[in-house]
Amino acid sequence: MPENRNLAPMIMENTETIKFVKESIPYSETGFYGKMPLDYLSGNENLRPFYGRLPAIESFEEQMVEKSKNFGNRQALVSALSNQYAAAKLKSPALDLLKSDNSFTVTTGHQVCLFTGPLYFFYKIISAINTCKLLKKRHPEKDFIPIFWMATEDHDFEEANHFFLPSGKIEWESGQGGAVGRMKTVGMDEVADELIDKIGIGYTSAELNSLFKKAYVNHENIADATRYLVHQIFGRHGVLVIDADDAELKKLAIPAFEKEICDNISFKEMTKTNQALSDNGFDLQIVPHKINLFYLDEQLRERIEETEDGKYQVVHTNTVFTKEEILKELKAHPEKFSPNVVLRPLLQEIILPNLAYVGGGGELAYWFQLKHVFQAFDVPFPILMLRNSVMVIPDKVKENMDQLGIGIRDLFGDGQKLEDKLVRAETSESLELDNERERLELLFIDMEARLGKINPDLKKSVQSGFARTDRVIKNLEKKMMRAERKKQEILINRLHQVRETLLPRNGLQERNMNFVPLYLEYGSQFIDGLIEVLDPFQNAFSVLGRRS
């Protein structure tokens, strides 16, 4: 495995930061956010019992006091993280800051997706960075460290093995099983070749391809590759990358894992919480098991299940423990026990001097289910912050929108109605038969009056005749619109191109697109430009375009 690894961030060498103009749109007006995050931001009292302090900068002072009284694992944390960075041949001044009792963390996390996966991977980390910056400004005597928690133990390979570019999907094929972070980076040379084929040749393309190779070809497993990648992009902003798939870190959670195995605490607490949330009309994101731990080994990550005779089986295997045996195994090999989505947040808060967790709407929704689990384990519940949600409008797309005469709010509306609006604006002929309909209606009213004098029953015949005529008129209007849409095919295609860039596959840009197209558009200035303009405490959807 090559040892020539660049220790300084290679992706941030441009000196001039791009200047973005930001337009803020209420989340509720986008149509892409569910009830629970919107209720959280609006302060719905029905949700109040399910979280701790509000996501406001004023809340952090009390959070620091509470966390300081309930955190005693700093030395073990610094030791484990220092060992991880030393083994990766990476350096970070943030490790020295973490040694002080006056330092705290703000954490975000994600799956170890190929080449960061969707764009919101970036927005999560930037939200954590900017939260720390604002906290430092408010509390200069303390230090605040943004943490990226790698979900290396996740075994959902199908969600992590690809990313999307406008030219298509790039996917890594692997027959490996178990935790994705432990998977070997076999076959990444071919993925690198496919990347350069799709993005073409040029200085910025070469820079991205080099970054991909240094991450995924020069490292043995996905966890090491992801750590290197995040460090290269965000390390100079003080971001520390943590891999909790570490025996020293999991030792800190042995008492909690013991309670989970013996007493099913999280299952009992979540069952009550889930009922209360359901009673208040909230949808549930996760359902607990009796034991919310996996057994982790090479090529294996399977759930632990208590059997009817009081033993503990690793499902889909022949491995069975007695109670004494599984507790002995936990103490001897804590690295073989992996929390699921229920216990992973608890492990995070045990390990870190953490104040807040930054996540998307779906993530925060399952954190609301965990408040009483934390209380049962006597662990402080962090402040929950909704990450920045962003749409970036490239220059050519903005030019196209201006020529079409549409704004970003138009795109969040009914797509068919927007197309029809543009077609009507471009044609010199009216595509409605309102005048003709009105004249016919007057004619039928006159007929109804005249015929009604002869026989009142004839009124119904006149009314049904008008109804049939009205349907004919509506069909004619549809045919006129179809004919005009065909004439305006180029216009409609331009609109489709705009939508496909900003709302690909009828979803948000950040959930579908990888960072590569925007990096090709703006270069290394892109990340610093985002950090400069985004505000983690502004609870609104951000639309960014280059300042002219």
User: With 90 as the cut, is the pLDDT of residue 365 above it?
Assistant: yes
Length of the chain: 548
Q: What is the torsional sign of CA 315, 362, 133, 47?
A: negative
Average pLDDT, integer, range 473-485: 75
Q: Are 502 and 509 in contact (CB under 8 A)?
A: yes
- Three-state secondary structure readout of 52-112: CCCCCHHHHHHHHHHHHHCCCCHHHHHHHHHHHHHHCCCCCCHHHHCCCCCEEEEEEEEEC
User: With 80 as the cut, is the pLDDT of residue 20 above it?
Assistant: yes
Residue 68's contacts (CB-CB under 8 Å, 6 or more residues apart) are 101, 353
Q: Measured between alpha carbons, how far is residue 279 from residues 47, 272, 273, 283, 284 in Å?
A: 11, 11, 10, 10, 11
Beta strands in 293-428, from DSSP E residues, in sequence order: 293-297, 300-306, 312-314, 320-321, 337-339, 354-359, 383-386, 390-393
What pLDDT score was predicted for residue 95? 98
Q: Measured between alpha carbons, how far is residue 356 from residues 43, 64, 136, 285, 460 in Å?
A: 18, 10, 14, 20, 69
Q: What does the alpha-carbon distance between residue 371 and residue 49 come to, in Å, rounded to a whole number? A: 8
User: With 50 as the cut, is the pLDDT of residue 7 above it?
Assistant: no
What are the φ and ψ backbone dihedral angles of 185, each rounded to 5 degrees? -85, 45
Query: Considering the entire predicted model, what is its pTM?
Result: 0.89
User: With 70 as the cut, is the pLDDT of residue 6 above it?
Assistant: no
- The pLDDT tens digits for 182-235 are 999 999 999 999 999 999 988 999 999 999 999 999 999 999 999 999 999 999
Q: What does the alpha-carbon distance between residue 449 and residue 251 come to, in Å, rounded to a whole number? A: 91
More confident residue, 358 or 175: 358
Residue 431 confidence class, pLDDT cut points 50, 70, 90: low
H/E element, 165: strand 162-165
Neighbour count for residue 97 (Cβ, 10 Å): 18
More confident residue, 393 or 431: 393
User: With 80 as the cut, is the pLDDT of residue 10 above it?
Assistant: no
In the numeric block, which tokens belong to residue 119?
Answer: 């764009």
- The pLDDT tens digits for 101-125 are 999 999 999 999 999 999 999 999 9
Give the DSSP per-residue string, 380-403.
Answer: PPPEEEEPP-EEEE-HHHHHHHHH
More confident residue, 484 or 177: 177
Beta strands in 340-459, from DSSP E residues, in sequence order: 354-359, 383-386, 390-393
User: With 90 as the cut, is the pLDDT of residue 540 above it?
Assistant: yes
Q: What does the alpha-carbon distance between residue 342 and residue 271 come to, in Å, rounded to a whole number? A: 12
Residue 29 confidence class, pLDDT cut points 50, 70, 90: very high
In the three-class reduction of DSSP (H, G, I as helix; E, B as strand; rest coil), residue 482 is classed as helix
What pLDDT score was predicted for residue 428? 60
Q: β-pairing, 300-306 with 312-314?
A: antiparallel
- The pLDDT tens digits for 182-196 are 999 999 999 999 999
Q: What does the alpha-carbon distance between residue 172 and residue 115 come to, in Å, rounded to a whole number? A: 11
Mean of the per-residue pLDDT values for the chain? 92
Residue 2's contacts (CB-CB under 8 Å, 6 or more residues apart) are 218
More confident residue, 369 or 480: 369
H/E element, 203: helix 203-216
Q: Are 367 and 106 in contact (CB under 8 A)?
A: no
